[in-house]
A and B are shown apart, each in its own frame.
Chain A
Amino acid sequence: MTDLTQMTLAEARDAVAAKKLSSTELTKAFVDAVEKARPLNAYVLETPEKALAMAKASDERIAKGAAGPLEGLPLGIKDLYATEGTRTTACSKILGNFVPPYESTVTSQLWRDGAVMLGKLNNDEFAMGSSNETSAFGPVVSPWQRTGSNAQLVPGGSSGGSSAAVAANICLGATATDTGGSIRQPAAFTGTVGIKPTYGRCSRWGIVAFASSLDQAGPIAKTVRDNAILLRSMAGFDPKDSTSADRAVPDYEKAVGASVKGMKIGIPKEYRVDGMSAEIEALWQKGADMLRAAGAEIVEVSLPHTKYALPAYYIVAPAEASSNLARYDGVRYGVRVPGKDIVSMYENTRAEGFGKEVRRRIMIGTYVLSAGYYDAYYVRAQKIRTLIRQDFEKVYAQGINAILTPATPSAAFGIGEKGGADPVEMYLNDVFTVTVNMAGLPGIAVPGGLSAEGLPLGLQLIGRPFDEETLFSLGEVIEQAAGRVALPQRWWA
């Protein structure tokens, strides 16, 4: 029998719908693969009993002719999503053994549509990181290795469990979240596809908050089509999220394969950063050529405030985080470390419960919001954010349909290689993705090819607000032209 786990989500969906394959058979294959892939540390909690029970219920619905659009398809869920009755930690010690009495809106929509949960996926603690190394459960090991080397590489972050699990065929697709690049950078590092939708497209309700004006949920999956299928179920208006967009969700899959002829694609000259490798430069050129060959017009554009996006982000995001994470005080949930009075209880709890990177970001956020520094840092950063958004608005007003950039400045790096002494070294990973969060726009990362060392490299397409469909159409062109990257060798089992 062929390996069921190698199917794309669309292939599995069609096989299940045609009753060529039961959800139970499919789910068993994944439960088995998940167990064998433990050396990757992609799952922080496996839920095989739940998965098989959900699969059985799916098979019953299929038999009755009551199947949903994701019926019987096994997914992995980033541990930032609250799952009712299933431990949710944001991969932080401070949440301890938190078992949510509620379900996040996005996951509830996946279950509504028939999907099956395989377990909870590793991520950087509170989604703060670009390599999945800040997780309280330890780093995720990428299924990818450099040609001729067995050095362990990072799968990107913060959604590193999601990207590794998809690349390693231990789920059909995964949920992820993106605050500065946390969907697109890990997708690029693992040869998978990930979309950060427009701010407001997916409900934030029930997703552990990092920086609320930047956080957005989205999928990571094997193909552009799989992303389109998943996003349709994940997206939609939710009265419980005050910034949720009240607009209809299109059938995104229809946009996959649609013509891109005559579309204008912007190439922002400011993304040609100092020290960009020849390999990334060549990948970018190749991406433009693929879109041109499909009938799109390539236009050079300017986004003059690009270089300020990352520093402004490192004011805005920590500021919001310091406020959001004030709730972890050892009173209502999670870990409590006693102290001589209530303040020392708070201080001991938070010192013990938060990891190094999270503590650092809370402190930076506290500083930039403190009396005397608020205007110099926070207000200035928010003004620069306005300028960044205006840059995009001006480009789109010229009739540009989407913007093409590299997804990351390099291929995946080794575990323990970056950010040891200087945190900014790690932050620079998000230099191409963070602008999109600052402006609230949609962005998709699609594999464009392999590096000289045999590692995946990703391209990013940035769209107009709520025009994810154009990104799916353009992303499909790149996927077809570049070909899906070869799956990594299964060295872990």
Chain B
Amino acid sequence: MSVDSATVRRIAHLARISVNEDEIAPLQNELNAILAFVEQLNEVDVAHVEPMTSVTPMQLRQREDKVTDGHYPNKIVANAPLTEDHFFLVPKVVE
């Protein structure tokens, strides 16, 4: 499989990365080089193979459902580019 320029634009938008017109063609070539490289996986018969879902056989641990951390809003917002009263500020999203 390979991608065309429209697909490159669609992927970029899905990934929330803006791309300039002049970046489309080189990106298309690079992505197609990677897709051509992974093409060889189609040689493998995977009909009766389970996909790996856990690297080491383990059950995810459970714990009591209670708050174990928090109460330091100053630290939480300390690195944000724009905040007000412990809120993160973003451009208007609701009209």
Contacts and interface: CB of A to CB of B under 8 A. Distances in A.
Contact of B56 (A239, A245, A341): A245
Nearest to B93: A342
A332 B33 contact: no
B3 interface: yes
A422 B37 CA distance: 11
A473 interface: no
B35 to A, nearest CB: 8
A341 B91 contact: yes
Interface string B2-36: 01000110011111111100000001001101110
A399 interface: no
Classify the interface of chain B: helix, strand, loop or mixed: loop
Contacts of B67: none
Given A243-B55, A360-B31, A465-B56, A332 B90 contact: no
Given A311-B37, A381-B41, A465-B56, A366 B46 contact: no
Contacts, number: 166
Contact of A360 (B27, B38, B40, B41): B27
- Name, among A213, A322, A364, A373, the residue most crowded by chain B CB atoms within 10 Å (CB to CB): A364
A60 B16 CA distance: 52
Contact of A384 (B44, B72, B81, B93): B44
A305 B61 CA distance: 32
B31 to A, nearest CB: 6
Contacts of A359: 15, 17
B79 A333 contact: yes
Given A311-B37, A377-B38, A342 B18 contact: no
B70 interface: no
Contacts of B33: 422-424
Nearest to B12: A363
A288 interface: no
12 contacts: A102-B75, A200-B55, A200-B56, A243-B56, A332-B88, A342-B92, A360-B31, A382-B51, A382-B52, A384-B44, A384-B46, A427-B37
Interface of B: 1, 3, 7-8, 11-19, 27, 30-31, 33-35, 37-42, 44, 46, 49-56, 58, 60-61, 63, 72, 75-82, 88, 90-93
